[in-house]
Amino acid sequence: MPEIRLSKLTKRYGAVEVLHGIDLEMAANEFTVLVGPSGCGKSTTLRMIAGLETVSEGEIFIGGNPVSHLDPKDRGLAMVFQDYALYPHMDVAHNISFALRLQRRPKAEIEAKVREVADVVGLTEFLHRKPGALSGGQRQRVAMARALAKDSDIFLFDEPLSNLDAKLRGQMRAELAIMQQRVRKNMIYVTHDQVEAMTLADRIVVMHGGHIQQQGTPEALFKQPANRFVAGFLGSPPMNFLEAELVSENDRLFARGDGFSVAVPAGRSRSLKRTSGGVTLGIRPSDLNFEKDARDDEAIDLRVIVSEYVGAQSVLLCACGNGSVTVELKSETPIALGETLRFAIRAEGIHLFDRESTAAL
């Protein structure tokens, strides 16, 4: 299974540049997820790899060979579309076998292949239905089966789950994860849903404004976000950001802002010594623990404004000076709105970003 490499990949529509020279390497058999908000260029990148959009500048290499001049059909890939893109006038079996029939494969081989992939995705009893007579989830499976039947080396997914309802999406996400383990192939998956990205990816590529913000394993991106955008995009509920100043006192470094003063862990203060001026303090809700007796410099005092009950956990929206902070709390904890609570901050949960460049410090 070939590796895929994007080199200075650029896309312009007229005078507007939407993709600014993307460099990316995807190893063989890797599940890569391109994630980002709407308009970040992730779908455009995928469609350029597929050959559905022309390349304005730069090159795409598949297995070392440049392919940007090739037709989609000559790139050896399969694709699952957001709206499934089934052929409405063909039944499920014909949808699945379309590519094979175009290749004029022997009839017996085609039938065997159709039965095999239909079995994988659980469509065997629907082979003679038209797409119009299938539910959303079943159509999604047909799209998946059609891609599988091609035996391509590369699978492209363009937001395949976003047209499904929430429950079905969770279920299909799990099935995809299983399929990913069974079918070891290059998969490139585009989504705006960070949960899909975190659960499915070997490697996440976070995109924003036509640039790659950061790439790496889900864990690396979650623990060491390269900048404020990546930190805020991954994780749910999202990371809290508070404006702060770095202040040195008694040889210790503090991030001090409106209503808090948090000690920066000793191991990190040395590299931060030279930084002066404004920073943004980032703390994930999961790194804040309700702890009445925590020390002043390892904790933050928050006034509860809204409590959202979501079952075992409640999400509290709190005020801290002028800023607002989200925390999670066990639902049975007795708290009152307006009450001020103390939360301890886990040392490794302190993220600092430069206020100007938004890069991690």
Partner 1 sequence: MCGPLPPDNHRSGKPVTAQTFNRMTPYLFLAPAAITMAIALLYPLGYMVYGSFRDWDPSQNISETDFVGLKNYITLFFDPAFRESLSVTLIFAFTVVVAEMVIGVGLALLLDRNIRGISVLRTLFILPMMIAPVVVGLMWRYMYHPTVGTFNKTLKSLGFDGVDWLGQHALLSVIIADIWQWTPFILILALAALQSLPASAIEAARIDGATAWQQIWHIKLPLMMPVLVVTALLRLIDAFKVLEVILVMTEGGPGLSTEIVALRISRTATEFRELGTAAAMSNYLLILLLILTLAMFAIGRLQDARTARLARQVQEEEG
The DSSP result for 82-94, as a single string, is TT----TTS-HHH
Strand, helix or coil for residue 64 = coil
CB of 154 to partner 1, least distance (A): 11
Alpha helices in 133-193 (DSSP H): 136-149, 166-182
Decide whether 12 or 295 has the Cβ nearer to partner 1: 12
Measured at the alpha carbon of residue 110, what is the angle toward residues 104 and 114, in degrees to the nearest 5? 140
* Binding footprint of partner 1 on the chain (CB under 8 A): 50-52, 71-73, 77-79, 81-89, 98-99, 102-103, 130, 132-135, 146, 150
Strand partners, 49: none
Give dist(CA 257, CA 264) in Å, integer: 13
Give dist(CA 12, CA 144) in Å, integer: 31
Give dist(CA 183, CA 205) in Å, integer: 21
CB of 337 to partner 1, least distance (A): 41
Q: How far is CA 318 from the centre of its chain?
A: 27
Decide whether 84 or 254 has the Cβ nearer to partner 1: 84
Tell me, what DSSP letter sits at residue 140?
H
Decide whether 95 or 314 has the Cβ nearer to partner 1: 95
CB of 14 to partner 1, least distance (A): 12
Strand partners, 220: none
Q: Are 55 and 68 in contact (CB under 8 A)?
A: yes
Decide whether 43 or 227 has the Cβ nearer to partner 1: 43
Decide whether 42 or 146 has the Cβ nearer to partner 1: 146
Q: Return the sign of the alpha-carbon dihedral for residues 18, 23, 29, 33.
A: negative
CB of 77 to partner 1, least distance (A): 7
Decide whether 82 or 286 has the Cβ nearer to partner 1: 82
CB of 150 to partner 1, least distance (A): 7
Decide whether 83 or 249 has the Cβ nearer to partner 1: 83
User: What's the alpha-carbon Rg for the chain, to the nearest Å?
Assistant: 25
CB of 152 to partner 1, least distance (A): 9
